[in-house]
């Protein structure tokens, strides 16, 4: 079913939570202790990773990393103690990032396009093995890995999928997802995780807890939930195809996006979401769906400023110009 709705899954992420034995958690640790942990991680990872201290970059760059899901809200919160390591081999996409002194001492994650949880886990597991071999990680024979939040104890693994559910949102079917059997052990959050709102019809679907099951079992359950969600989204899209008002809304949004008008962030998100719904309904064909999916992050305010050196006063003009050019190239 998922193959029938290729645009439903934006990306897959595996995240592993680890803590170093003998140190307070990041919200209690002092600067000296935080630096010691940072040094331990740097030595463990070696030269294959680029190290960035949160204090060494300005707030706009930090915000851009957050907008692109490369660091978390908690790392922004603890920026005076935190850092991040990116694997150099994938420096263009920052496929693997290892956050230090976030909610836990170590939060390693791997993000990959599409529904690719198994691939993401294999990549990240190799890095996790290096960390465990070289750092004394806090663990219990009974409870598994010990973490700052009890829901992360056990494997410490969070498998999440970023999904695009426009049709379910339009017909009001997202709320019903939580009642389905396949979603019993799943959590539905906004695009930026816990506490965030759903924007552009984007949601994160992830396992609720990590204890009492193996990594393979947890990942398998998320795959199963995705099959169910894809089935429901397909049915909702069939319903919308019979709704003439939806096509008019999509067409108007496409015109707005391609007319090089000034675009505020919220306006862009609204029209872009409608356009992507039109792609899912078959009103428009795009030649690079992955590229289209990346636009939602790349047109965020801080990311535009960092990537292109845009003056903040010109953001709306530049966003409108770049969105128009990009979509015209993508639509067949």
**pLDDT score at 19:** 98
**pLDDT score at 199:** 65
**Residue with more model confidence, 201 or 5:** 201
Residues 28 and 171 in one domain: yes
Provide mean pLDDT across the span 281-294.
92
Check whether 111 has a pLDDT greater than 90: yes
**pLDDT score at 26:** 92
Residues 304 and 199 in one domain: no
pLDDT digits (tens, 9 = 90+) for 40-95: 999 999 998 999 999 999 999 999 999 989 999 889 877 889 999 998 765 454 48
Helix (H) or strand (E) holding 10: strand 9-18
Residues 218 and 82 in one domain: yes
**pLDDT score at 189:** 87
Residues 178 and 215 in one domain: yes
Check whether 1 has a pLDDT greater than 60: no
Paired residues of 331 in beta bridges: 286
Pairing of strands 49-53, 9-18: unpaired
**pLDDT score at 94:** 47
Spatial contact of 102 and 26, defined as CB atoms under 8 Å apart:
yes
**pLDDT score at 131:** 97
Provide mean pLDDT across the span 130-147.
95
Residues 226 and 248 in one domain: no
Residues 252 and 186 in one domain: no
Check whether 124 has a pLDDT greater than 90: yes
Check whether 192 has a pLDDT greater than 70: no
Q: 289 — phi, psi (to 5°)?
A: -65, -35
Q: CA of 301: how far to CAs of 63, 137, 306, 318, in Å?
A: 9, 38, 9, 10
**pLDDT score at 154:** 94
Residue 215 exposure: Cα atoms within 13 Å on the Cβ side: 18
Spatial contact of 328 and 258, defined as CB atoms under 8 Å apart:
yes
Provide mean pLDDT across the span 312-325.
96
What is the percent of the chain with per-residue pLDDT over 90, rounded to a whole number?
Answer: 69
Provide mean pLDDT across the span 312-329.
96
Task: Give how many domains the chain has, as a whole number.
Answer: 2
Mean pLDDT (the chain, rounded): 90
Residues 137 and 45 in one domain: yes
**pLDDT score at 177:** 84
Residues 228 and 249 in one domain: no
Picking from 219, 236, 253, the residue at the C-terminal end of a domain is 236
Residues 82 and 218 in one domain: yes
**pLDDT score at 88:** 75
Residues 191 and 217 in one domain: yes
Residues 217 and 279 in one domain: no
**pLDDT score at 220:** 96
Provide mean pLDDT across the span 4-12.
80
Check whether 181 has a pLDDT greater than 80: no
Please state the separation of Cα 326 from the chain's center in Å: 22
**Residue with more model confidence, 4 or 309:** 309
Spatial contact of 215 and 15, defined as CB atoms under 8 Å apart:
no
Picking from 218, 236, 254, the residue at the C-terminal end of a domain is 236
Q: SS3 for 110?
A: strand
Q: 161 — phi, psi (to 5°)?
A: -125, 130
**pLDDT score at 173:** 85
Q: What is the CATH number of the domain that holds 97?
A: 3.30.590.10
Residues 47 and 164 in one domain: yes
Least confident of 7-21, 65-79, 178-192, 209-223: 178-192
Provide mean pLDDT across the span 180-192.
83
pTM (two decimals): 0.90
Q: 112 — phi, psi (to 5°)?
A: -140, 150
Task: Kindly indicate the confidence band of residue 194, based on its pLDDT and cuts at 50, 70 and 90.
Answer: low
Least confident of 34-43, 193-202, 257-266, 311-320: 193-202
Where in the sequence is the domain holding 102, given as residue range(s)? 2-236
CA 220, 221, 225, 227 torsion: positive or negative? positive
Picking from 185, 202, 236, the residue at the C-terminal end of a domain is 236
Q: How crowded is residue 255: how many other Cβ atoms within 10 Å of its Cβ?
A: 12
Q: How many angstroms separate the first and last alpha carbons of the chain?
A: 25
């Amino acid at each position: 079913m998922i193959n029938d709705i290729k645009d439903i899954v934006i990306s897959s992420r595996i995240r592993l939570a680890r803590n170093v034995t003998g140190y307070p958690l990041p919200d209690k640790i002092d600067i000296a202790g935080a630096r010691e942990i940072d040094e331990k991680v740097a030595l463990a990872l070696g030269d294959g990773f680029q190290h960035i201290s949160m204090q060494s970059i300005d707030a706009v760059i930090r915000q851009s990393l957050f907008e692109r899901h490369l660091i978390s809200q908690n790392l922004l919160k603890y920026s005076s103690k935190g850092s991040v390591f990116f694997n150099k081999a994938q420096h263009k996409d920052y496929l693997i990032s290892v956050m230090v002194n976030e909610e836990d001492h170590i939060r390693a994650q791997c993000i990959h396009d599409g529904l690719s949880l198994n691939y993401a886990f294999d990549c990240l597991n190799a890095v996790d093995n290096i960390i465990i071999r070289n750092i004394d990680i806090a663990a219990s024979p009974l409870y598994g890995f010990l973490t700052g939040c009890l829901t992360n104890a056990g494997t410490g693994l969070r498998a999440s999928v970023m999904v695009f559910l426009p049709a379910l949102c339009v017909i009001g079917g997202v709320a019903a997802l939580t009642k389905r059997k396949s979603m019993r052990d799943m959590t539905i959050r906004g695009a930026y995780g816990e506490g965030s709102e759903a924007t552009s019809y984007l949601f994160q679907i992830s396992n609720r807890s990590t204890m009492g099951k193996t990594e393979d079992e947890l990942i398998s359950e998320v795959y199963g939930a995705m099959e169910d969600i894809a089935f429901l989204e397909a049915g909702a899209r069939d319903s919308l195809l019979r709704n003439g008002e939806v096509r008019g809304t999509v067409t108007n949004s496409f015109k707005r996006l391609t007319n090089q008008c000034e675009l505020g962030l919220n306006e862009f998100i609204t029209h872009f979401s409608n356009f992507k719904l039109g792609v899912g309904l078959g009103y428009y064909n795009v030649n690079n769906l992955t590229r289209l999916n990346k636009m939602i992050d790349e047109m965020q305010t801080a990311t535009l400023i960092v990537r292109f050196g845009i003056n903040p006063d010109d953001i709306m003009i530049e966003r409108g110009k770049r969105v128009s050019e990009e979509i015209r190239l993508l639509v067949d």
